[in-house]
Chain A
Amino acid sequence: MTTTLIANLSRYVPELIAVVTMIGALFLEAAVGKFDKAKDYIFSAAGIGLILCLISLSKNMSLSATPIFTGAVIIDPFSTMVKIIMVLGVLGSLYVAFVSKDIAENHKSEFVILAMGVLVGGMLLASANNFLTVYLGIETLSILSYVLAALKRNDGKSTEAGIKYALYGGITSGVMLFGMAHLYGILGTIHFSEVLESLSTLDQTKMLILLPSFVLVFVGLGYKIACVPFHMWSPDVYEGSPIPVTTFFAIVPKIAGIAVIVRITHIFFDKSGVLQDSWVGFLQVVAILTITLGNILAIGQKSVKRMLAYSSISHAGFMLIGVLVIDQIGISAICFYGVIYLFMTLGAFGITSFLGDQFNSDRFGIFDGLIKSHPFMSIAMIIIMFSLGGIPPFGGFIAKYNILSASLHKGFYTLAIIAALNSVISLYYYLRIVQSMVFKDATYEENIKGFTFINQLVMLGICFPILFLGFFWEKIMITATNAHLLVK
């Protein structure tokens, strides 16, 4: 018994490191919180913890898939890949938090603690192998996110974002639980590994209850990735939260939610039949609505944060297309999309954060005439915007191309056409930022304090993968193709 526990724990090292980092940051805050340099210590401790986490994750990458803790959690290459994306996302948003002025200095250590907690929840969700771990993962992710959204505790908008997030989150997780209860009643088990065998012995009347229950479960998961029609919270929460928190929300919960939707779809709807057809049809409708509505609503926005929120909704729709092909090429396309999406989101929010601190605003006007005063950062932002819109030489194009080729491979022609048309619509609002930087005159004279040498270097480091992966994408694609999912 003890030996199996130790063997199980040896596979669980990345999560343990994340937990220890979180608790360590908590104690460090309690011990040295009053000192001047406390912030530096806590951020560097968290950074070291995350890098250790990355190293142990990259070691796990080559291991074969194993269920651990009596099948409650599964460690397979796909979940490890998703965890690597999430850890990188936390690392990036910690950097944005470190330099941003949007969070008060004495609240920054709280950001570290809560972000590490959300990361632990996301990692649990990415490798969840029964309904209980899915539920616990989602709640760990959500409950800490509510606090993160309300981190500017004396700001009316931030507390309102917290309220909206908490209410939407509570309702959707309740509905999801109701669906899970009925699934448990029908299937007689909460373990994903035992589901297939009970699915094959179901009679027709029980099948009828199965699909509505899955739709109820999808409410909770779809809320986490903010797909239409559960997207209403997303722009409000993104606008109200401080920018580092918004960066964090755009990456970690979204990627974790996509991972669990991939797993559920591949486990329950692997066999072709009525069940698979109706689920794929449902996901198709959701994906089309998500991409189209996200893009159309983004057009009229005046706030850059809201625009990026709607754009992240439409990116979630693209990732859903990768889910509904129910194939390994879909999974590898999602992994690749996740990597590119991570860098694009970090870059876009990072530059918006530096400018937002200077002008205390998140309007499009903050970009006016930037190319004359700060050409390097403007070119970085132009690269990121072109990549988000899916213009060929950049990484975003390859990511969208992979998703569309996966869907064409399986014969979803209408879906691919609608997605490609939407990519054109999205260019309109991404290029508004480029137009504002290049063709408008600056309304200010002063130098932007956020663009220090180190910050520019970091932004260059974020832009480099977007450019690099646009040309040399085979390497990461091979890694993504190896990210198999264990389906029993």
Chain B
Amino acid sequence: MGLAPYLIISMILFILGIVVMMARKNIIAILLGIELILNASALNFVAYSRFLTNNIDGHIFSLFIIVVAAAEAAVGLAIVIRFFQVRKSIHIDEAVWLNDEV
């Protein structure tokens, strides 16, 4: 197997992530979409590192991505919990208190 299948899979993951973020109305699901995008880029880094560039920068980068994604998910979920306790909903359409008044 060469580089191409990895790139195709990561592209599919990336597009799925974008679609999830646009189509789902649940904030938790949107956070999952972000995770998909992050994993797509981590896969890209590892694939390029293995097949093209002959150095381990990509491997290191993907490890950092995993760590930072965990931190981001933790903070994101904590804020979602606050939002739920204050507003009694995790539906993104509820988040309309802040907008341009015309």
Nearest CB of chain B from residue A237's CB, rounded to whole Å: 8
Q: Name the segment of A7-15, A58-66, A165-173, A273-281 touching the other chain.
A: A165-173
Which one, A162, A190, A235, contacts B61 given CB within 8 A?
A190
The reply to whether the CB of A178 lies closer than 8 angstroms to some CB of chain B is yes
Nearest CB of chain A from residue B13's CB, rounded to whole Å: 10
When distances are taken between beta carbons in the complex, the residues of chain A under 8 Å from B60 are: 132
Given A164-B95, A302-B101, CB of A132 within 8 Å of CB of B83: no
When distances are taken between beta carbons in the complex, the residues of chain B under 8 Å from A135 are: 61, 64-65, 68
Most chain A beta carbons < 10 A, residue from B31, B92, B98, B102? B98
Q: Mark A48-61, 1 if CB is under 8 A from B, else 0.
A: 00000000000000
Given A300-B102, A301-B100, CB of A166 within 8 Å of CB of B86: no
10 A-B residue pairs with CB within 8 Å: A132-B61, A143-B72, A164-B95, A167-B34, A177-B38, A177-B65, A178-B14, A181-B58, A185-B44, A185-B53
Is there an interface contact between A136 and B53, defined as CB atoms closer than 8 Å? no
The reply to whether the CB of A184 lies closer than 8 angstroms to some CB of chain B is yes
A188 to B54, CA, bound (A): 8
Is there an interface contact between B75 and A147, defined as CB atoms closer than 8 Å? yes
A239 to B10, CA, bound (A): 37
Is there an interface contact between A189 and B53, defined as CB atoms closer than 8 Å? yes
Given A132-B64, A135-B64, A188-B53, CB of A175 within 8 Å of CB of B79: no
Given A135-B64, A160-B95, A174-B34, CB of A188 within 8 Å of CB of B52: yes
Measured CB to CB, the residues of A under 8 A from B are 131-132, 135-136, 139, 142-143, 146-147, 150, 153-157, 159-164, 166-167, 170-171, 173-175, 177-178, 180-182, 184-185, 188-191, 235-237, 239-240, 297, 300-302, 306
Is there an interface contact between A177 and B41, defined as CB atoms closer than 8 Å? yes
Nearest CB of chain B from residue A413's CB, rounded to whole Å: 33
Which one, B14, B37, B97, contacts A156 given CB within 8 A?
B97
A121 to B12, CA, bound (A): 32
Is there an interface contact between B14 and A157, defined as CB atoms closer than 8 Å? no
Is there an interface contact between A161 and B75, defined as CB atoms closer than 8 Å? no
When distances are taken between beta carbons in the complex, the residues of chain A under 8 Å from B44 are: 178, 181-182, 185
A190 to B57, CA, bound (A): 7
Is there an interface contact between A185 and B48, defined as CB atoms closer than 8 Å? yes
Given A164-B95, A184-B53, CB of A143 within 8 Å of CB of B61: no
Which B31-61 residues have a C-beta within 8 angstroms of A?
31, 33-34, 37-38, 40-42, 44-45, 48-49, 52-55, 57-58, 60-61
Is there an interface contact between A157 and B75, defined as CB atoms closer than 8 Å? no
When distances are taken between beta carbons in the complex, the residues of chain A under 8 Å from B76 are: 146, 166-167, 170
Most chain B beta carbons < 10 A, residue from A150, A167, A237, A302? A167
Which one, B34, B54, B64, B75, contacts A146 given CB within 8 A?
B75
Give the nearest-CB partner of B99 in chain A.
A236
The reply to whether the CB of B27 lies closer than 8 angstroms to some CB of chain A is yes
Give the nearest-CB partner of B54 in chain A.
A188
When distances are taken between beta carbons in the complex, the residues of chain B under 8 Å from A239 are: 98
Nearest CB of chain B from residue A52's CB, rounded to whole Å: 28
The reply to whether the CB of B25 lies closer than 8 angstroms to some CB of chain A is no
Is there an interface contact between B79 and A143, defined as CB atoms closer than 8 Å? no
Give the nearest-CB partner of A175 in chain B.
B37
A157 to B80, CA, bound (A): 13
Give the nearest-CB partner of B52 in chain A.
A185
5 nearest A-B residue pairs (beta carbon): A174-B37, A181-B44, A185-B48, A170-B34, A177-B41
Is there an interface contact between B14 and A136, defined as CB atoms closer than 8 Å? no
Give the nearest-CB partner of A161 in chain B.
B98
Nearest CB of chain B from residue A186's CB, rounded to whole Å: 9
Give the nearest-CB partner of B45 in chain A.
A181
Q: Mark B72-85, 1 if CB is under 8 A from A, else 0.
A: 10011011101100
Nearest CB of chain A from residue B90's CB, rounded to whole Å: 9
When distances are taken between beta carbons in the complex, the residues of chain B under 8 Å from A131 are: 61
Nearest CB of chain B from residue A209's CB, rounded to whole Å: 11
Is there an interface contact between A167 and B57, defined as CB atoms closer than 8 Å? no
Nearest CB of chain A from residue B54's CB, rounded to whole Å: 8
A191 to B56, CA, bound (A): 12
